[in-house]
Structure 1
Amino acid sequence: MTEQETTDASALSRRALLLNGAAVAAFAALRPATALAQADATPFEADNIRPFRVDIPPAALVDLRRRLAVTRWPDPEPVDDRSQGVQLAKLQSLVRYWEAGYDWRKAEAKLNALPQFLTNIDGLDIHFIHVRSRHADALPLIMTHGWPGSVFELLNVIGPLTDPTTHGWTAEDAFHLVLPSIPGFGFSEKPKGTGWNPDRIARAWDVLMKRLGYQAYVSQGGDWGAIISDAMGRQAPPGLLGIHVNRIERSTTIPPDVARALRSGDPAPAELAAEERAVFEETREFLAKGFGYAAIMGTRPQTIGYGLADSPVALAAWFYDKLADWVFTRGEPERAFSRDEILDNITLYWLTNTGTSSGRIYWENSAGNSKLTPIAIPAAVTIFPREVYRPPKSWAERAYRKLIYYNRVDKGGHFAAWEEPDLFSAELRAAFRPLRQL
């Protein structure tokens, strides 16, 4: 790399170009040409909503390929399965494609085809996509991604949710859609201090929706997005009509005797029904063999972060392991996503250097997690068959006192919107239909 390229690569504090001057006026006049965004652009108000466009410097992509080319690989795993983690041959195959075949500019174009913005809330710049439906009576919906995901995992549901008539549904099923990036993820700013836990993010999301002019709206999430939606449900700000989640918090739903048995290592309580006993055994297996990643980031996010910031292969392995664990096609994420889709998400983390900062939400949640009380506002739940935790309805009702919708579907895993966008969109339509007249 030249000296100038090195300087450019190290100066990626924003990793995107903000439009200004005449460019702002041009951006405000844009209307996306596809059904993904039949929308008026977000107004540029005094509330510091600024247009945003992704434009990663070429030097950053050169640096990425250089690092991939000089990777020092470990020995192959001495087992013939995934019991020790990501298998060498699979990761090497993905990395070879990342170095020689993958094109980040196509991913960039996906984002730039959508209306993107920044707004400052509580001292932090928040990145979000805002797609207004062409149907005037659409229901405003803020939808939040999780870890190790990003707004990329939600892009395929934008069309079905904002433009339902093109996808075989009616105008009455339309949503105005807001997709924020969690602080420390993607193009949202990284907190410089502590305290950005799910409760604080939930309050920020209400500010965002009110700032956009939505006085009544609903919230949805999976993974951390579900935890944030739950926090919004507990806070119950005026105008929040209800929530939908496709991931349920264990601690709020597991009965006390079941929780005690899990903590102590005792057998499942004898009175459990067959479905409940299956959930108990799956939960015990996950806590024993699949929860290490969260324990590390919940206690030592900075320590693991050095490798995630310095080595793209370390970052890819850390994320690929969870994709493989949690998709419907267990152990085979390539059967759920294309290599480009996998790498769009990983490359976003690499180019924004958010492998470390995104992990801190686990520490924040562990450090500041108060007693979680039941949620009183309307709530809806969809259980996807390969989600990590799949409680029966009777358990879910412990957390959601006004459970207006509970459904178990036959396809999909932890990344439901990403894996099954049509089914996921149908679930949101059904779940929120009772709230449209409120």
Structure 2
Amino acid sequence: MTEVLGYKWFATQGGDFGSFITRSIAIQFPALVRAQHLNMFPVPPPTLWSAPMAYLRWCLSGVLYSDFEREAIRVRRNFEIDQSGYLEQQRTRPQTLGFALGDSPTGLLAWFVEKFHDWGHVHEAFDPETTITLVVMHWIQGATPGLRFYREAFGSRREAEKTFETYVSCPTGVSMYAKEQLHKSIRSAASGL
């Protein structure tokens, strides 16, 4: 941004894995990133030790949280219980999964469409041609490279998670969409209030 494009400063935006990248850029270049916008903010629930007031509010969420905040908790719990298996597979066994998905274009298509169905409004956002194009892009290069970065980012060094454990001083905006899986911009929990 600065060396090639010549900007003196810039703002960043990221969702899904891009939220970790966006945070990482802000951590590494605090003088250059003036603001960041995220549409995934995967912070864990507050603890009594990390944010006592947010923790008490979280414990009483049935009474103190808005309908939107309670729905955000429900969506996140559903993701953690029912939809995060892919993350563990990609984090722990990317090679095996990559070979399996790389062996069958139908299997790779099913892998993608399942995620699209749970995470987006498939019929509105992904017409058949777009879906096939996205799958072919992964099929041509082989499925494994797209899976390996989960092991590298979420493995023993926890590089990705550390970006949300690090304070970032630039202004931060967070958007939450209906099918975003890691809802957690419940302001008090995210800010530690």
TM range (shorter): 0.7 to 0.9
Partner residue in 2 for 1:318: 111
Which stretch of the first structure deviates more once superposed, 289-298 or 380-389? Answer: 380-389
Residue by residue over 1:153-175, the C-alpha shift from the partner in whole angstroms, topping out at 9 and shown as x without a partner, is xxxxxxxxxxxxxxxxxxxxxxx
Taking every aligned residue pair, what percent have the same amino acid on both sides?
29
- 2:134 is the counterpart of 1:345: yes
Residue by residue over 1:220-261, the C-alpha shift from the partner in whole angstroms, topping out at 9 and shown as x without a partner, is 11101111101112223432222111111133xx2125x9xx
Of residues 123, 145, 164 in structure 2, which corresponds to 1:357?
Answer: 145
Greater helix proportion: 2
Question: Structure 1 pair 303/209, CA: closer, same or farther in 2 (3 Å)?
Answer: farther
Partner residue in 1 for 2:174: 381
Partner residue in 1 for 2:4: 211
- 2:31 is the counterpart of 1:238: yes
Task: Give, in whole Å, the separation in 2 of the partners of 1:270 and 1:237.
Answer: 34
Task: Give, in whole Å, the separation in 2 of the partners of 1:307 and 1:373.
Answer: 36
- SS where residue 244 of structure 1 aligns? strand
TM-score when normalising by structure 1: 0.37
Of residues 174, 187, 192 in structure 2, which corresponds to 1:393?
Answer: 187
Q: What pairs with 1:167-178 in structure 2 (closer than 5 Å)?
A: none
Residue by residue over 1:50-79, the C-alpha shift from the partner in whole angstroms, topping out at 9 and shown as x without a partner, is xxxxxxxxxxxxxxxxxxxxxxxxxxxxxx
Residue by residue over 1:26-49, the C-alpha shift from the partner in whole angstroms, topping out at 9 and shown as x without a partner, is xxxxxxxxxxxxxxxxxxxxxxxx
CA-CA distance at 1:298 after TM superposition: 0.7
- 2:75 is the counterpart of 1:288: no
CA-CA distance at 1:211 after TM superposition: 2.5
TM-score when normalising by structure 2: 0.80
Question: Structure 1 pair 396/270, CA: closer, same or farther in 2 (3 Å)?
Answer: closer
Question: Structure 1 pair 335/342, CA: closer, same or farther in 2 (3 Å)?
Answer: same
Partner residue in 2 for 1:265: none
Partner residue in 1 for 2:65: 274
Partner residue in 2 for 1:26: none
Which amino acid is 2:169 matched to? A
Residue by residue over 1:90-145, the C-alpha shift from the partner in whole angstroms, topping out at 9 and shown as x without a partner, is xxxxxxxxxxxxxxxxxxxxxxxxxxxxxxxxxxxxxxxxxxxxxxxxxxxxxxxx
Question: Structure 1 pair 217/345, CA: closer, same or farther in 2 (3 Å)?
Answer: same
Task: Give, in whole Å, the separation in 2 of the partners of 1:396 and 1:389.
Answer: 12
Question: Structure 1 pair 212/396, CA: closer, same or farther in 2 (3 Å)?
Answer: same
CA-CA distance at 1:381 after TM superposition: 1.3
Partner residue in 2 for 1:419: none
Which amino acid is 1:255 matched to? P
Larger RCO (CA within 8 A; separation ≥ 6):
2
Partner residue in 1 for 2:154: 366
- SS where residue 3 of structure 2 aligns? helix
Greater strand proportion: 1
CA-CA distance at 1:396 after TM superposition: 2.9
Task: Give, in whole Å, the separation in 1 of the partners of 2:149 and 2:77.
Answer: 24
Task: Give, in whole Å, the separation in 2 of the partners of 1:238 and 1:269.
Answer: 34
Residue by residue over 1:247-280, the C-alpha shift from the partner in whole angstroms, topping out at 9 and shown as x without a partner, is 11133xx2125x9xxxxxxxx9642223344433
Contact 2:39/2:175 (<8 A) preserved: yes
CA-CA distance at 1:305 after TM superposition: 0.5
- SS where residue 211 of structure 1 aligns? coil
Contact 2:95/2:144 (<8 A) preserved: yes
Q: What pairs with 1:61-210 in structure 2 (closer than 5 Å)?
A: 209-210=2-3
Contact 1:302/1:356 (<8 A) preserved: yes
- 2:14 is the counterpart of 1:221: yes
Q: What pairs with 1:33-48 in structure 2 (closer than 5 Å)?
A: none
Task: Give, in whole Å, the separation in 1 of the partners of 2:82 and 2:2.
Answer: 39
- SS where residue 238 of structure 1 aligns? coil
Contact 2:43/2:190 (<8 A) preserved: no
Contact 1:230/1:375 (<8 A) preserved: yes
Question: Structure 1 pair 295/229, CA: closer, same or farther in 2 (3 Å)?
Answer: same
RMSD: 2.4
Structure 2: runs of 5+ lacking an equivalent = 51-56
Structure 1: runs of 5+ lacking an equivalent = 1-207, 260-267, 402-438
- SS where residue 256 of structure 1 aligns? coil
- 2:44 is the counterpart of 1:256: no
